[in-house]
Amino acid sequence: MSMIQPEPAGQPVSPFVLPVTQPPDRETLAGWQRYRLTRASFQPAPRLTLADYRRLSPRRKALHDLHRTATHVNLPLLETPMSAAVDRLMRFRMQNNALKTKASTQSGLMVSGGGFQGKTETVCDCAAAFEDFLRDLHQELNPDAVAGTRDLHAPVAYVQTPVTAKPKSVCEAILDFFGAPIARGATLPQLCRLVRASLRDHGTRVLILDDVTRLKMHREADQDALDLMRGLMSMNVTLVLVGVGIRQSGLLTGGHYDAASGQWRFLPRKDGKSYFNDEAGTQTDRRFDLIDLDPFRYDSPARIAAWTSHLAGLEDCLRLFHAEPGMLTTGDMPEYLFRRTQGVVGLLERLIEDGCAAAIDNGTEKLTVSLLDDIHIDLRDVPGRDPQAGEIPEVPQPPRPAPAYKRGRNTVFDDRGPASSSSAS
């Protein structure tokens, strides 16, 4: 990419500028609201023909290349058959719980899947859309506001499970979202009361706990933390747990699958322990829907067609001058891309993103197998991911060609000089 040169007089400057703020921190109330309001606000680069591009000044060319790169690293969240199923179930669960008026434990939802499969983005986008609906329904007001108070309305709260989760640290993470003051040396019962008050006073209807499989069920503190999370279900919120490989993580230990309702049921603890001292909540078993957000498959005509359709959607978002129709969907490219990513949408986006940057840099302006063969995906240093919890998947890399065998030189006729005196006799 060339350096940006001064703009000649009389030519308008491209409206695109680099973002001046960091991506929204969804783990705070202000950050979540900024995410909700701006999640679809990015404007991709305009589509220019190569002839139009060549007529631009050097500065405007550089700005347009920068805008194209930003477009490729901010690809929209495309719906897949798997994410559509998660979205549908989650919408039904949130809506049904929000309409309940009886005092009973509300059913929750567990969203499972591998790393980089779009679980967090799918869940957050669905929850943000639900909050948009609630705010529009109530004219931006909290229908359950406490008289005489001015608490901010927060229909959705998003919290990441601490890496070393304990009941107190989980409570503190929830309170940090609301910016609630935490007294130094507060006991667990005091923290639980603060959590209850924050969820109630802010009108929270949905609580998302991400990376929940960081809990290790062989640790007693983690078992207590999970019991606390289940106890949150008696607080009139829809609890959404998101994690990698929930079925194999041990989180379902102590529960049983109810074929009649299609839900996992968890009975109250035998010792009657409840962090929230909610007797009504302990009388009803806690229920979860469990749904898997799987990667794409490539083992049937229907699944191959779904994969190809997803590639077509990505292809339509790219801004490469020599990209021909079918660049990602014809020939060996669909099978190649599946082999490189195993159908994981996050790995696919990373491969396409890096490939487009290379295509712009070297001037080829299109994606080819030979170009993508030189792209290696390295996820070892991705921030905010816990490899021990399976949050970083295995990344297939392109096979490296074996080094060419070099035949040794024939030395039969080499002149090795006169024989040594010891051998001359």
In a domain, 336, yes or no: yes
Pick the last residue of a domain from 292, 316, 342: 292
Residue at 71 is within a domain: no
The CA-based dihedral angle spanning residues 110, 208, 389, 105, taken in that order and rounded to the nearest 10 degrees: -50
C-alpha to C-alpha distance for 381 and 202, rounded to whole angstroms: 36
Do 307 and 259 fall within a single domain? no
- The verdict on 333 and 203 lying in the same domain is no
Do 125 and 268 belong to one domain? yes
pLDDT of residue 295: 94
Closest CA to 306 of 353, 350, 331, 343: 343
Residues of the chain short of pLDDT 50, as ranges, are: 1-6, 8-13, 272, 277-283, 402-405, 423-425
Same domain, 280 and 137: yes
The answer as to whether 34 is a domain residue is no
Long-range contacts of 407-413 (CB under 8 A, 24+ apart): none
For residues 379 and 350, give the distance between their C-alpha atoms in angstroms, rounded to a whole number.
10
| Residues 306, 380 within the same domain | yes
Residue 285 inside a domain? The answer is yes
Which of these three, 292, 312, 334, is where a domain ends?
292
Dihedral sign for Cα 299, 301, 305, 308, please.
Answer: positive
Q: Is residue 305 domain-shared with residue 266, that is, in the same domain?
A: no
Domain containing 317 equals 296-401
Count the Cβ atoms, other than its own, within 10 Å of residue 395.
18
Q: What is the pLDDT of residue 409?
A: 57
Q: What tokens were used for 318?
A: 């790219």
- Residue at 52 is within a domain: no
Residue 360 is assigned to a structural domain of this protein: yes
Q: Do 145 and 264 sit in the same domain of this protein?
A: yes
Tell me, yes or no, whether 350 and 381 share the same domain.
yes
pLDDT computed for residue 419 by the predictor: 57
What tokens appear for 384 in the block? 């905010």
Domain count, the chain: 2
Q: What is the longest distance spanned by two Cα atoms in the chain?
A: 118
Contacts 24+ apart (CB under 8 A), 216-220: 216/250, 217/249, 217/250, 217/251, 217/253, 218/250
Q: What's the pLDDT at 72? A: 95
Instruction: Please check whether residue 414 lies inside any domain of the structure.
Output: no
State whether 117 and 174 are in the same domain. yes
Last residue of a domain, one of 254, 275, 292: 292
Whether residue 287 is found in the same domain as residue 300: no
Tokens of 79: 């719906």
Residues 382-403 pLDDT 10s: 555 555 555 566 666 666 554 4
What CATH number is given to the structural domain containing 244? 3.40.50.300
Residues 225 and 343 in one domain: no
- pLDDT at residue 283, as a whole number: 45
Is residue 3 in some structural domain?
no
Tokens of 117: 């499969």
Q: What is the dihedral sign for C-alpha 216, 220, 225, 227?
A: positive
Q: 255 and 233 share a domain?
A: yes
What confidence tens digit (pLDDT) does each residue in 266-314 have? 776 555 455 554 444 444 567 889 999 999 999 999 999 999 999 999 9
Give me the pLDDT at residue 402, please. Answer: 46
If DSSP codes are grouped into helix, strand and coil, which group holds residue 232?
helix
345's CB contacts (< 8 A; 6+ apart) are 78, 80, 116, 117, 118, 295, 296, 310
Half-sphere exposure of 150 (CA within 13 A, CB side): 0
Reduced to 3 states (helix: H, G, I; strand: E, B; else coil), residue 160 is strand
Confidence at residue 1, expressed as pLDDT on a 0 to 100 scale: 45
With CA atoms as reference, report the closest residue to 64 among 79, 74, 49, 75.
49
List CB contacts of 41: < 8 A, sequence separation 6 or more: none
Tell me, what's the pLDDT at 75?
94
Tokens of 372: 């993508």
Residue owning tokens 């070099």: 406
What are 72-89's pLDDT values in tens digits? 999 999 999 999 999 999
